């Protein structure tokens, strides 16, 4: 075991979430960021409840609520802004609104403030990583101070490449992009307007063959438009104030153009691509360094945040020599197919909303009908992202394994994860056998007896939910559930008696892989 900090390259939202997730697991890290401050321009504006749950796990759940607002859902509109379909999104099963709108620089500042509070993390800005070289026992990292030009050599037990789309670490891992064939040019316009524009409080997607567009209110007086650019179009021409005013006019009505303060308007190229490998020994890729997705289902940043939540507890267990290094194999095995599915859904959704130009509204309506028939698309809009597929930590034949546990409130404004803490949790309605207690100890987890709406921990803690957890276990059906630190179900068991012995008998190897 080493006490040298893990090096995180890039202090974007993925890198900071990764450092905080490691800190929660007690692992120190050093974040190296070449820029002086957070990226000032608005980028991501949407996160789903699963990603916000990860933010909660690193201590910024409440603060995020203060800088975000729930979206009512997604509305698909035709060229004349008439509603074609609506997907409402209320409170989700994971403790947070199913869709939250916010401004990415606000989120990044909030994450950095939390970073400053944690003794386990150090952020060095103005530091450019020049090279990363994995060695036999550790990883060498060559950096340059951009102000002084001084070059320094650091050594780290592991390096996380959170260095965005133009990642240097991706080359070190030996990864190449897999192009999932969806490159689109969009004009992104962010505006401040002191006069409320008074539209429905959700995301509007204009499905027009003439020009697909997205519109939403981001914050108090902040609005975002995204307009699809056609192949022949020069974005520069549309950026001239009269052309821009004409584009937003259907939404701004009689608000005079002078009252709209354009914060940013520029062309972005959205791509769909996936790194073909995410790891070389102890050098790993996360966030945009590993994947990029078209914007249609708002999952780019969310995917990076999920990467951080998935990896941190595994890396912590391996660095502490509590789990074998093979546990790290499960990171790419779980995250890569999940991201691929979401990119494909974004592509499908994008095609249905914007493709087939010139073929008229009938085609558009049938494309939307097709979208509504894609189970994954409806599931995503309706219920959330897919469960983790079968893999090293997700055995076949266990319906709960790989799914996220629900997160009810447990009183006093707290949510279940706050009560469970950052490690493994074993929930049971069965008679506890010594083997279950031993298993829990080996996982360094906490054992909770579920009794209707009450959850009793072995240390005497008792919290109450509204019966969500016992209903969830009953409907699976499961008498015992083992939750990973990222609140994904590791295993479930139906036995009324001796659940510990049953879990050990059936899944001994898997349990040892996670450090039991
Ligand atoms: C217009 C737009 C709209 C979007 N909307 C959404 C949305 O609604 N929902 C959503 O989920 N996502 C959205 N996204 C995507 C989202 O913004 C990105 O997925 C997210 O920023 C990725 O975060 P990251 O930390 O992985 O990478 P980045 O934010 O790119 O951060 C990488 C960091 O690494 C640093 N770095 C790079 N190389 C080095 C080096 N060699 N040394 C030191 N530092 C280095 C960079 O300076 C940067 O700070 C949108 C993106 C755009 C452009």
Mutate to test the pocket of ligand 1, among 104, 143, 147 (most ligand atoms within 8 A of CB): 104
Residue 347 alpha carbon to ligand 1 centre in Å: 20
Is residue 357 over pLDDT 50? no
Average pLDDT over residues 195-208: 91
Average pLDDT over residues 326-332: 97
Average pLDDT over residues 387-407: 95
User: How many angstroms separate the CA atoms of 232 and 98, rounded?
Assistant: 37
Band (239; pLDDT cuts 50, 70, 90) = confident
Taking CA atoms only, the protein residue closest to ligand 1 atom 35 is 10
Pick the residue with more confidence: 480 or 234? 480
CA of 515: how far to CAs of 386, 441, 489, in Å?
26, 11, 16
Residue 335 alpha carbon to ligand 1 centre in Å: 18
Longest C-alpha distance within the chain, in Å? 74
Residue 304 CA: which ligand 1 atom is closest?
Answer: 26
Is residue 299 over pLDDT 50? yes
Cβ atoms of 268 and 185 within 8 Å: the answer is yes
Pick the residue with more confidence: 118 or 238? 118
Taking CA atoms only, the protein residue closest to ligand 1 atom 21 is 301
Residue 352 alpha carbon to ligand 1 centre in Å: 26
Cβ atoms of 465 and 412 within 8 Å: the answer is no
3-state secondary structure 207-219: CCCCCCEEEEEEE
Residue 185 alpha carbon to ligand 1 centre in Å: 17
What secondary structure does DSSP assign to 1-26, as a single string? ---SPEEEE--SHHHHHHHHHHHHTT
pLDDT, tens only, 85-121: 888 888 889 999 999 999 999 999 999 999 999 999 9
Mean pLDDT, all residues of the chain? 92
Instruction: Please give all residues whose beta carbon lies within 6 A of any atom in ligand 1, as ranges.
Output: 9-15, 32-35, 39, 43-46, 104, 128-129, 162-164, 168, 188, 268, 287-288, 295, 298-302, 304
User: How many angstroms separate the CA atoms of 95 and 52, rounded?
Assistant: 9
pLDDT value for 376: 56
pLDDT value for 294: 85
Cβ atoms of 389 and 397 within 8 Å: the answer is no
Residue 45 alpha carbon to ligand 1 centre in Å: 12
Residue 299 CA: which ligand 1 atom is closest?
Answer: 11
Band (2; pLDDT cuts 50, 70, 90) = very low
pLDDT value for 373: 52
User: How many angstroms separate the CA atoms of 393 and 370, rounded?
Assistant: 34
CA of 404: how far to CAs of 323, 354, 482, in Å?
22, 32, 11
Of the CA atoms within 13 Å of residue 41, those in its CB half-sphere come to 11
User: How many angstroms separate the CA atoms of 180 and 291, rounded?
Assistant: 10
Which residues on adjacent β-strands are paired with residue 268? 186
B/e letters for 416-429, b = 16+ CB within 10 Å, e = fewer, are: bbbbbebbbbbbbb
pLDDT value for 382: 63
CA of 141: how far to CAs of 32, 34, 131, 169, 490, in Å?
10, 14, 6, 10, 35
pLDDT value for 379: 60
Band (1; pLDDT cuts 50, 70, 90) = very low
Residue 46 CA: which ligand 1 atom is closest?
Answer: 8
Average pLDDT over residues 334-354: 87
Band (182; pLDDT cuts 50, 70, 90) = confident
Residue 93: closest CA among 302, 382, 390: 382
Strand-strand pairing, 462-464 and 454-457 = antiparallel
3-state secondary structure of 144: strand
Band (363; pLDDT cuts 50, 70, 90) = low
């Amino acid at each position: 075991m080493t006490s040298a900090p893990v090096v995180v390259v890039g202090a974007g939202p993925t890198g900071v979430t990764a450092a905080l997730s490691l800190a929660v697991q007690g692992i120190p890290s050093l974040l190296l960021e070449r820029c002086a401050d957070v990226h000032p321009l608005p980028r991501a504006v949407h996160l789903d409840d699963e990603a916000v749950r990860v933010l909660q796990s690193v201590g910024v759940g409440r603060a995020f609520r203060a800088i975000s607002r729930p979206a009512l859902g997604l509305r698909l509109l035709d060229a004349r802004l008439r509603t074609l379909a609506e997907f409402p999104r209320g409170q989700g099963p994971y403790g947070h609104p199913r869709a939250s709108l916010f401004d990415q620089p606000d989120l990044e500042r909030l994450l950095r403030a939390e970073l400053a509070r944690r003794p386990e993390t150090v952020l060095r800005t103005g530091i450019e990583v020049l090279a990363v070289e994995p060695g036999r026992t550790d990883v060498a990292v060559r950096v340059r101070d951009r102000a002084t030009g001084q070059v320094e050599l650091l050594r780290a037990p592991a390096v996380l490449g959170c260095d965005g789309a133009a990642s240097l670490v991706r080359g070190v891992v030996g990864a190449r992009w897999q192009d999932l064939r969806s490159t689109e040019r969009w004009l992104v316009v962010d505006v401040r307007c002191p006069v409320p524009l008074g539209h429905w409080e959700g995301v509007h997607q204009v499905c027009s063959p003439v020009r697909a567009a997205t519109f939403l209110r981001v914050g108090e007086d902040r609005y975002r438009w995204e307009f699809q650019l056609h192949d022949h179009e020069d974005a520069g021409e549309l950026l001239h104030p009269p052309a821009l005013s004409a584009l937003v006019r259907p939404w701004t009505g009689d608000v005079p153009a002078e009252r709209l303060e354009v914060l940013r308007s520029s062309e972005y190229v959205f791509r769909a691509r996936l790194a073909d490998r995410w790891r070389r020994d102890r050098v790993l890729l996360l966030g945009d360094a590993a994947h990029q997705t078209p914007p249609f289902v708002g999952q780019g940043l969310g995917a990076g945040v999920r990467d951080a939540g998935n990896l941190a507890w595994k890396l912590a267990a391996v660095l502490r020599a509590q789990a074998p290094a093979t546990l790290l194999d499960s990171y790419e095995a779980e995250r890569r197919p999940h991201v691929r599915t979401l990119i494909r859904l974004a592509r499908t959704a994008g095609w249905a909303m914007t493709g087939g130009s010139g073929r008229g509204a009938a085609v558009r309506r049938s494309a939307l009908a097709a979208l509504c028939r894609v189970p994954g698309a409806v599931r995503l809009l309706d219920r959330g992202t897919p469960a983790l597929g079968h893999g090293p930590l997700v055995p076949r034949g266990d319906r709960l394994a790989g799914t996220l546990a629900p997160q009810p409130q447990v009183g006093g404004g707290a949510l279940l994860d706050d009560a469970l803490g950052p490690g493994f949790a074993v929930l049971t309605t069965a008679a506890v056998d010594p083997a279950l207690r031993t298993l829990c100890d080996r996982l360094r987890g906490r054992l909770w007896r579920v009794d209707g709406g009450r959850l009793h921990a072995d240390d005497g803690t008792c919290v109450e939910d509204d019966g969500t957890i016992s209903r969830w276990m009953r409907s699976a059906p499961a008498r015992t559930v083992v939750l990973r630190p990222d609140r994904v179900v590791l295993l479930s068991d139906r036995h009324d008696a001796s659940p510990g012995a049953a879990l050990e008998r059936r899944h001994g190897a898997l349990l040892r892989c996670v450090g039991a």
